[in-house]
Every structure is written in structure tokens, then in C-alpha cells.
Amino acid sequence: MSVKIGNIDLGEFPLLLAPMEDVSDPPFRYVCKQGGADMMYTEFISSEGLIRSAAKSRQKLDIFEYERPIGIQIFGSDIESMREATEIATLAGPDLMDINYGCPVKNVACRGAGSALLQDIDKMVKMTEAVVKATHLPVTVKTRLGWDDNTKNVEEVAERLQDVGIQALTIHGRTRAQLYKGEADWTLIREIKRNPRIKIPIFGNGDIDSPEKAANWRLEYGVDGMMIGRAAIGYPWIFREIKHFFATGEHLEGPTLEERVEACRTHFTKSLEWKGPKVGVFEMRRHYSNYFKGLPDFKHYRTQLVKEENIETIYALLDEITDKYSNVTPVSEMA
């Protein structure tokens, strides 16, 4: 059975790329799409920023045909602002709209947005209903188990948000209080999937970092698909590796050094094209160590890459890495 969100057919068990702030931009999404992601989301976008036409917020609306299906994710604390932002984002032409009720960071949650709405379900429901009515697109939601261990209310959230029209729900298996610490707990996600009232697709998120875990948790928790975040940073091949393991029960051989360098080079080139040379060079620096994780004695190159400002020199360094490590065992076997 295919999983569908509205009229979007995602196949039998879709793997979604999580919306990650300062990570899930178009250059990163490009390499993840190449790596096998079935659906992706933009970085989360401030509703207030969209309404004010803040340059950074508006730039996050950029989507490209090769990315489809793709959702624009918005967050905010004011219902009217979320409604207006939905109308603006809809004009950018995504395939769906997503609401962030899961971000735990202080400058979001402490302003009444993101996971803060888990403390006010009535407001969350009204906000969601306003977003649903403001667009012709399917609306989905990403959230957490609850605010803390004493208020795990995601079962109520799932039922009430389905009632006002959301068409899929992604649940991160942690509370807001946990942030990204400890282990994700998917047992509540399983209960929601088993709830006979719930008819919409339920996606699990949190700690999926290997093909074995994805396969085991698919069976154990019965979700309709999985959203992968941190494990894809510097390793966009995780999507194709999980799919191969699902299909065969065997591990797909990890990326060669040449594939790693090529993905990094593509990511860098796209970053320059989308952000311009100055920002493109600067923001790529957070990715190098992930692409080359596990290479022996790599610190020297990493230091050069994160300090270098000249574009041609960076490309030359990537060529040099290819030559230097050409006979090294593939990184994925050592990581």
C-alpha cells in the first residue's frame, strides 16, 4: 500500500528528510535527494519573518522542481500571523505545508512557538485549523511526545489535529525537556499508529541512524514511514542504504572516497550558487568534517577547509584529498 498525503503518492514506506535549521537548505536537499530521500522540507521559517518580508525568511521559500515533493515548514506563536504566512508560503508553490510544533530551542519555544504549543493544545488546534483553511495544499505537522515526562499529550494532539484537517503527522520520540539528549522513545508513536481513530499517515522521527535500526523499528513500531535528520548530515547515502536493506536484508556498500568528495563538491557548488560566494563558503564549513568522518589524520585538511576563503583553493583541497586517500579503506567501513 502506498502512503499518500493528499494526492502526493510517496510509495510504500517513505523516508523523509527532516527540516533542520541552518542545515536543510537547497544545497543540502540536493545531495539528499540524490541519496534517495522520498520527501523533503525546507528549514523552518518564521511566520513573522515572512510577513515582514525579512530577507532570510523569504530566501528560505526557494524551492526547485527536482526537489519535489517538498513541503514548506513554518512556525510562530500568533494564529493570525501563521494564517498570513501560510498564504505567502503557498504562493511559493510547494507540494504541502508543514507546521512546526516540535522545535525545542529556547529562542523558539520561549517565545510561544514550536514545542511551546504542546502546553496549550487548544491554541495549537485553533492555529492548525487557521493554517488548513488558508491553503489549498495538504497540511502536515511535526511535533514531540509532549513538553516533559509529566505531560506526554501527543495522543490528544494527534486526534484533535486530525479532526481539524491535517493529513499526516510526524512525531519525534522525545519531549521538549529532553531536547536531543537521551534516547528517542517510539512506544507512544506506536500507540498512536494503532489508535483506530487515526487514519492519517504517522511518521516516526528520532535516532534512525542505520539500516538495521530502520528495519527493526519499522517492524516494532508499525509507522507509515520515517523522518531522518542528523544521520543524513554529511551522509546523504543513508536513504539509499536503508532502502537497499529493506529490499534485500543486506548492506549496500558504503560510498567510495570519490563519491564522498563528489557529494561534498556538489554541495559546495550549490551553496555558492544559492548563497553567493561569501556566505556559501562560510556556511559550508559546518559540513566538511561530516563528509570525511573517519578518515585518518584528516585534521590538517579539515582545518584548511574551514579557514580557507578562496573558492579555487577549496576545490584544489578536495582534489588533493581524493589523491591522498585514494587507497584508504572506504570511510563508511571505519566510521
Name the residues annotated as catalytic: 103
The torsion angles phi and psi of 98, rounded to 5 degrees, stand at -125, 140
Q: How far is CA 135 from the centre of its chain?
A: 22
Phi/psi zone of residue 317: left (φ > 0), alpha (ψ -120 to 50 degrees), beta?
Answer: alpha
Cα(10)–Cα(250) distance, rounded to whole angstroms? 23
Cα(320)–Cα(301) distance, rounded to whole angstroms? 9
- Which residues touch 109 (CB under 8 Å, ≥6 apart)? 103, 115, 116, 176
Q: Which of 129, 132, 128 is nearest to 143 (CA)?
A: 128
CB 82 within 8 Å of CB 133:
no
SS3 211: helix
- Which residues touch 236 (CB under 8 Å, ≥6 apart)? 31, 32, 34, 35, 36, 37, 263
Strand partners of residue 101:
143
